[in-house]
Structure 1
């Protein structure tokens, strides 16, 4: 904010020959401009903060007190009276009125033209503006250095709040506070309600710009962060209106925060690509090559057994959730490799974005086996086994739990099709199930069905003919048992 020169500065520092005759206690008022007027009432043309200059052409003794009263009400910084033209000296009535009202009254000698005072004040204002711009550049330099620190965005927020003497807050895409600095952040709660306006502009296809609003005793500026899409927001609050230069500082901070966020994301994306490449080497059985790549990058595989997790659905979200772990999007799922000690924690995070399959602990050279286990567990989770399925738990669910549901159903439909298409298919299917369940014992199977064993023998010969299978072959019996169970046929 430009600091206007005070009346004391103008009187004491400039070689203008000015003499203060009244209002010494108010000489520290800022002078924002110089106004020359010979009107009896110049206040309609004043904004407040001016040094009013006059020769008192239309001023008489009776009008001195009302004249001073009007100037004080308008908030002028002081009154300069030029002597030697209309008046040889400042009228006593005017001097008394100014002293009584506490209005600084300055005598301007005949040889000092009013324009010289105006130019002097203008020069002082220009100097102050230059100093403010210089301070703004210095502030931007300090903000830039803060952005280069390890904590990046947080350091920028801290520095911004300190430089402006207010508060600053960094928010994520949802509007949650990530970091705040400064005191008296009464407007932070009001920021959340304004974020929808910025999001709305983005959805409408416009470029989301900053917005400003006021709360009681506070002025707030909110800006979105992100180059191509909104990745967060930041807000700044002051107990007074922002100056143009302060707006420039805020805009510079927004650019630095956006660069920091985008650079951070690009750095994370680059690390993720490297780890994905390493993971592909590990899954291909190239453990030594993977270790060599990691060694050159100053990274390494953690000691101890590893666990492979397969996360289905929400691939981008799952990759984000995996964080700095070894993760790669492969096919219709995301593959993540973590130390066994972090497997449960990671599975808990990934399940928020879809079903998860967890393999058993393996060594680096056995990750392909671990991936096969994780995929089988994921298939079971997708069939409704739960948000997280562990390969170790599948053993208790039988062999069928390890089969792909779609492939098994297709296999069953193709194998049993001749029986479904044959006349009394229910008799043949029921007889086949009973026969297999009784391990080919005719009497036990016939009794289970409630038919004569010769009837069962006839049906089994028909089944063998239709299917082209030898029912005495254990392999053929196993295939038929699986087809009956995954195909949903009931006895």
Structure 2
């Protein structure tokens, strides 16, 4: 909607010769249209903001006050009275009523047709609309040039704050401030939390939306941006209501931010695909080709031995935390690690290659997003080994429910951390089931545990249980019969030890 001209502008149109008889201090009211009516009550046909024109055919001393009262209640811009037809002069009662009510009352000379006033207002509206469009296009051009600068979205925010004379804030999808410009922006960011939460709920249901709210000090607009999903939020605040031009400029800024973010993400995705290709080359032993390809991106691998790190957290969060480190989404890397039960064949992690001096710090930061496996330092021609180690360590981190596992620490954590917990529990349940079903369950299970803990020494195990060694021998024969294992076989004893160690509710082998 165009900015409407004011009554003052209409009065100053010299060819009209309009005179102000009342309400001179209210001439800055906008005139949104001209309405001609000789009705005693024209208000049912008005929307508010009109300049009402009349010759007063139905006005007299008795109804002038009520007529003005109705117009004021409808919030018209003003009243134009044409003299020389129904009245040679404007009735004094009407002037007095308009003065009391603060309603602008204009005298229209007899030789000025009402249509001339209507045409003048239409021309002013058209001029204002053209001026509005011109200002909006000019502002969009400046915002576009800002978006093309190296700093992109930040430059758009700076330009937007200057264009509107207020503040502008760029927030990421989590609501964290990425950039702010304009006076009052820093303090305003703290008040946006509830609106951002409301917008997340609305946009989460698939309905893109924006929010507008006001306080005695300022007016604020918050809108999300992003193409396929919300990538962030734009917040703008002014010390006055937003004009149509301001709304247009804010919408243009939101569109430019969407383009910048989506284009940046596509460019970033392309770079990540190149890094995944580099990783494939390195793992295939084509070190020179891999390094040359990476140099095309203006990057180099760090000198010296590198540590392979694999993180199974949410990919975007991991890559953002990785920052400038060499990182590749392993879905394209085809590591083919065979060492761990969850090797890299499924490409279920993000692979990083970092100098040994930074490995601990990087792994700790990535551990906030999901389990992390860290290999031993390796030269470029032996990265396959380092990555296999990282995947084995990742498997250990998952089974041990720890955020970070280093390959070098796996041996110190024992064999059990390498076993798949679900598979091990199923194996234990099946192997020990006959002992659980047989008579006094605790006698056989506890006897077997003591026997294994004492490495098959009858006297020591019997003493621990408080039974005669012949009683223990009898029990072990029953165990061997029930589980179908020869207890003199070291492999059979190892299987039973593992079954007892992982058995739910039965503790662990000592």
Q: TM-score range by the shorter chain?
A: 0.7 to 0.9
Shift of 1:65: 5.2
1:195 aligns with 2:196: yes
Distance 1:62 1:428 in 2: 117
Distance 2:403 2:221 in 1: 43
The SS at the match of 2:15 is coil
CA contact (8 A) 2:11 2:18 kept: no
Distance 2:97 2:431 in 1: 111
Distance 1:434 1:394 in 2: 26
1:164 aligns with 2:181: no
The match for 2:359 is 343
CA contact (8 A) 1:5 1:125 kept: no
The SS at the match of 2:5 is coil
Shift of 1:214: 2.5
CA distance change for structure 1 residues 347 and 35 in 2, over 3 Å: closer, same or farther?
same
Distance 1:67 1:409 in 2: 93
The SS at the match of 2:367 is helix
CA distance change for structure 1 residues 304 and 413 in 2, over 3 Å: closer, same or farther?
farther
CA distance change for structure 1 residues 338 and 298 in 2, over 3 Å: closer, same or farther?
same
CA distance change for structure 1 residues 60 and 248 in 2, over 3 Å: closer, same or farther?
closer
Give the greater-gyration-radius structure (CA): 1
CA distance change for structure 1 residues 353 and 257 in 2, over 3 Å: closer, same or farther?
same
The match for 1:305 is 305
Superposition map of 1:67-216 within 5 A? 67-70=97-100, 73-74=102-103, 76=104, 79-82=106-109, 110=111, 112-184=112-184, 188-205=189-206, 207-216=207-216
CA distance change for structure 1 residues 406 and 70 in 2, over 3 Å: closer, same or farther?
closer
The match for 2:83 is 55
Farther-moved stretch of structure 1 (131-140 vs 407-416): 407-416
CA contact (8 A) 1:416 1:483 kept: no
1:7 aligns with 2:24: no
Distance 1:36 1:137 in 2: 36
The match for 1:486 is 498
CA distance change for structure 1 residues 373 and 136 in 2, over 3 Å: closer, same or farther?
same
Quote the RMSD (CA, aligned, Å): 4.5
Q: 2:53 aligns with which of 27, 31, 36?
A: 36
1:372 aligns with 2:373: no
The match for 1:439 is none
1:263-320 per-residue CA deviation (whole Å, 9 max, x = no partner) reads 2222222222221221222233332221121123332212232111122354564445
Shift of 1:69: 0.8
CA contact (8 A) 1:312 1:333 kept: yes
The match for 1:94 is none
Distance 1:420 1:121 in 2: 97
Shift of 1:31: 6.2
Distance 1:284 1:432 in 2: 46
1:448-477 per-residue CA deviation (whole Å, 9 max, x = no partner) reads 457999x99xx99x99xx8689x8xxxx85
Distance 2:485 2:322 in 1: 49
CA contact (8 A) 2:220 2:237 kept: yes
The match for 1:66 is 96
CA contact (8 A) 1:308 1:335 kept: yes
CA contact (8 A) 2:3 2:244 kept: no
CA contact (8 A) 1:10 1:121 kept: no
Consecutive unaligned residues of structure 2, counting only runs of 5 or more, are: 34-50, 331-343, 463-467, 502-508
CA contact (8 A) 2:278 2:290 kept: yes
1:57-103 per-residue CA deviation (whole Å, 9 max, x = no partner) reads 174675375155146x12x3x63452xx5xxxxxxxxxxxxxxxxxx
1:215-260 per-residue CA deviation (whole Å, 9 max, x = no partner) reads 2243332222222222222222233333333322222222222222
1:42-65 per-residue CA deviation (whole Å, 9 max, x = no partner) reads 644464544735327174675375
Distance 1:304 1:145 in 2: 43
The match for 1:441 is none
- Using the size of structure 1 for normalisation, the TM-score is 0.72
CA contact (8 A) 2:147 2:155 kept: yes
The match for 1:265 is 265
1:333 aligns with 2:345: no
Superposition map of 1:418-457 within 5 A? 445=457, 448=460
CA distance change for structure 1 residues 278 and 415 in 2, over 3 Å: closer, same or farther?
farther
1:402-428 per-residue CA deviation (whole Å, 9 max, x = no partner) reads 666678889999999999999998788
Distance 1:64 1:422 in 2: 110
Shift of 1:135: 0.8
The SS at the match of 2:229 is coil
Farther-moved stretch of structure 1 (328-337 vs 316-325): 316-325
CA contact (8 A) 1:187 1:218 kept: no
The match for 1:95 is none
CA contact (8 A) 2:376 2:407 kept: yes
The match for 1:382 is 398
Distance 1:396 1:276 in 2: 33
Shift of 1:133: 0.7
CA distance change for structure 1 residues 210 and 31 in 2, over 3 Å: closer, same or farther?
closer
The SS at the match of 2:397 is helix
CA distance change for structure 1 residues 411 and 279 in 2, over 3 Å: closer, same or farther?
farther
Distance 2:30 2:424 in 1: 89
Superposition map of 1:225-264 within 5 A? 225-264=225-264
Farther-moved stretch of structure 1 (256-265 vs 237-246): 237-246
Farther-moved stretch of structure 1 (400-409 vs 333-342): 400-409
The SS at the match of 2:285 is coil
- Equivalent pairs counted in the alignment come to 438
CA contact (8 A) 1:31 1:51 kept: no
Shift of 1:134: 0.9
